[in-house]
């Protein structure tokens, strides 16, 4: 649905008629805010094109610098106090814009400036519009999210809205490489706020039918198995060796299903290495597993279960050890998350009963995990634009999601501001 003024006027007329006949199923929209969101759509498209043209692959330091320069200037124009901080490791600066207002509550908005695409991707996948779709590398994930945040601030500023104690915007540049250099900053800042809204994309109509928000996401991790044995001549004295490869195979088999008994853990062995030459019993072997975590205590439980298995050897006199390392923490939405989601649904319903789907979870990681780590702020994910093709090719956003997403973003903040903390 595209919000043209004429359609809106007709809807309003239809609404007032239905008010006379019976109570409407949903509240009327904030007409001034809706008009502002509609008026902003062309400018959002310009911002999207500007940002997609600045390629910012997560490993491309010069590209990330150009993108951060652009976004920093945009944030400064919106009047916040803008800080540019180096990531604690890897590429990508962190932009933090702080706004102090006249209200009571503390809000934080997050999105990321990096993409998964290598420099030069634009040459084969240029920016183009086809009907309701606007294509470009990174346009949904997550330049659409940055655009929604920038234009939400613009709309609120133009309306003179300052009903917050603190409104903080945090954009990082290493989300696609696990946010190792920005995660701690996001977690620490989130703990100073009451509500964090995260602007990753929501799936397009072609895959999800309706726009949505996300209630939880898996955390990531790795498990590493190392076996130390003893080498010997494989032909002349095999029994003098302690075969690390055999022991590794035994350990991999006996732990293949280990996570199935641990709530919130998933483990899959994916890589292994052993042996340098064919005629030597190998003294070393190692394997690594992909780990996904949806419960905060699952990593520790997995480590304990693996340690227990390390005691049961098949090859005597080998040393076996397991190390579970966590990456991005899981985003575990709580009752406050579901409350935010219900409010978002009610706001969407104001737009001609537009539905909003609550996605229970995803296997992909998100910085909402860092934001929810301390448990202090209520966190809601997927406030960005509707789109698809992310982490694939021919990525696009749906133009008709721009107005409802701007309306949702601004209206939710305005509503939350009026509630007692």
> Under the rule (CB under 5 A), what is the footprint of Zn ion?
141-142, 200
Q: How buried is 392 (Cβ within 10 angstroms: 0-12 exposed, 13-18 middle, 19+ buried)?
A: exposed
| 137: its two tokens | 């590398």
Nearest distance, CB of residue 393 and Zn ion, angstroms: 16
Q: How far apart are the first and last CA of the chain?
A: 35
| 26: its two tokens | 């949903």
Nearest distance, CB of residue 124 and Zn ion, angstroms: 21
Torsion sign (Cα): 89, 90, 93, 98: negative
Q: Is 386 helix (H, G, I), strand (E, B) or coil?
A: strand
Nearest distance, CB of residue 404 and Zn ion, angstroms: 20
353 torsion bin: left (phi>0), alpha (psi -120 to 50), beta (else): left
Nearest distance, CB of residue 185 and Zn ion, angstroms: 17
Is 175 among the residues known to form the active site?
A: yes
Nearer to Zn ion, 170 or 305 (CB): 170
Helix/strand/coil (H/E/C) assignment for every residue in 321-356? EEEEEECCCCEECCHHHHHHHHHHHHHHHCCCCCCC
- The distance of Cα 35 from the centroid of its chain, to the nearest Å, equals 29
Nearer to Zn ion, 60 or 200 (CB): 200
Nearer to Zn ion, 332 or 368 (CB): 368
- Choose the catalytic residue: 55, 60, 93, 175: 175
Nearer to Zn ion, 142 or 395 (CB): 142
Cα separation values, 325 from 58, 181, 220, 349, 409, Å: 22, 16, 9, 43, 35
Nearest distance, CB of residue 257 and Zn ion, angstroms: 32
Nearest distance, CB of residue 141 and Zn ion, angstroms: 4
* Distance (Å, whole) CA 344 – CA 168: 20
- Choose the catalytic residue: 60, 114, 176, 381: 114
Nearest distance, CB of residue 217 and Zn ion, angstroms: 11
**Biggest CA pair distance of the chain:** 97
Cα separation values, 353 from 265, 302, 339, 340, 356, Å: 38, 45, 19, 18, 9
Nearer to Zn ion, 164 or 390 (CB): 390
* Distance (Å, whole) CA 275 – CA 231: 10
Nearer to Zn ion, 220 or 255 (CB): 220
**Residue whose pair of structure tokens reads 């928000």 in the numeric block:** 213
Nearer to Zn ion, 141 or 247 (CB): 141
- The distance of Cα 63 from the centroid of its chain, to the nearest Å, equals 21
* Distance (Å, whole) CA 113 – CA 111: 7
Query: What residues form DSSP beta bridges with 8?
Result: none
Is 247 among the residues known to form the active site?
A: no
**Closest residue by Cα to residue 97 from 86, 111, 83:** 83
**Residue whose pair of structure tokens reads 């008709």 in the numeric block:** 400
Q: Is 42 helix (H, G, I), strand (E, B) or coil?
A: helix
Q: Rounded to 5 degrees, what are φ and ψ at 115?
A: -125, 175
Nearest distance, CB of residue 384 and Zn ion, angstroms: 8
Nearer to Zn ion, 60 or 283 (CB): 60
Q: Give the catalytic positions in this structure.
A: 114, 175
């Amino acid at each position: 649905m595209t919000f043209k003024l004429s359609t809106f006027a007709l809807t309003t007329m239809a609404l007032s008629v239905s008010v006379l006949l019976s109570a409407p199923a949903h509240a009327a929209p904030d007409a001034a805010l809706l008009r502002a969101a509609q008026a902003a759509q062309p400018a959002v498209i310009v911002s999207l094109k500007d940002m997609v043209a600045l390629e910012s692959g997560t490993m491309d330091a010069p590209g990330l610098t150009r993108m951060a320069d652009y976004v920093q200037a945009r944030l400064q124009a919106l009047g916040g106090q803008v800080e540019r901080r180096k990531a604690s490791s890897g590429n990508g600066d962190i932009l933090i814009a702080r706004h102090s207002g006249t209200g009571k509550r503390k809000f934080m908005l997050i999105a990321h400036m990096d993409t998964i695409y290598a420099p030069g991707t634009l040459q084969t996948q240029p920016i183009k519009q086809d009907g309701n779709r606007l294509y470009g590398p990174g346009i949904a994930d997550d330049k659409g999210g940055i655009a929604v945040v920038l234009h939400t601030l613009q709309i609120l500023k133009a309306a003179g809205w300052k009903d917050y104690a603190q409104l903080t915007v945090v954009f990082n540049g290493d989300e696609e490489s696990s946010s190792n250099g920005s995660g701690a900053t996001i977690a620490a800042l989130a703990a100073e706020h009451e509500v964090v809204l995260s602007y990753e994309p929501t799936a397009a109509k072609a895959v999800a039918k309706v726009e949505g928000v996300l209630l939880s996401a898996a955390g990531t991790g790795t498990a590493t198995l190392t076996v130390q044995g003893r080498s010997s001549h494989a032909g002349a004295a095999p029994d003098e060796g302690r075969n690390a490869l055999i022991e590794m195979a035994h350990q991999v088999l006996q732990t293949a299903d280990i996570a199935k008994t641990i709530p919130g853990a998933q483990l899959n062995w994916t890589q292994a290495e052993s042996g340098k030459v064919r005629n030597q019993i190998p003294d070393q072997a190692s394997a690594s597993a992909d780990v996904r975590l949806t419960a905060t205590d699952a990593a520790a439980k997995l480590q304990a279960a693996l340690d227990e298995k390390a005691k049961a050897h098949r090859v005597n006199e080998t040393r076996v050890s397991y190390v579970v390392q966590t990456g991005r923490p899981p985003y575990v939405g709580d009752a406050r998350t579901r409350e935010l989601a219900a409010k978002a649904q009610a706001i969407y319903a104001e737009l001609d009963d537009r539905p909003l789907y609550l996605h229970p979870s995803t296997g992909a990681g998100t910085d909402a995990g860092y934001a929810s780590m301390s448990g202090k702020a209520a966190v809601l994910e997927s406030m960005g634009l509707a789109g698809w093709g992310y982490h694939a090719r021919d990525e696009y956003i749906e133009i008709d999601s721009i107005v409802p997403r701007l309306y949702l973003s601004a209206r939710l903040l305005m509503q939350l501001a009026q509630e007692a903390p």
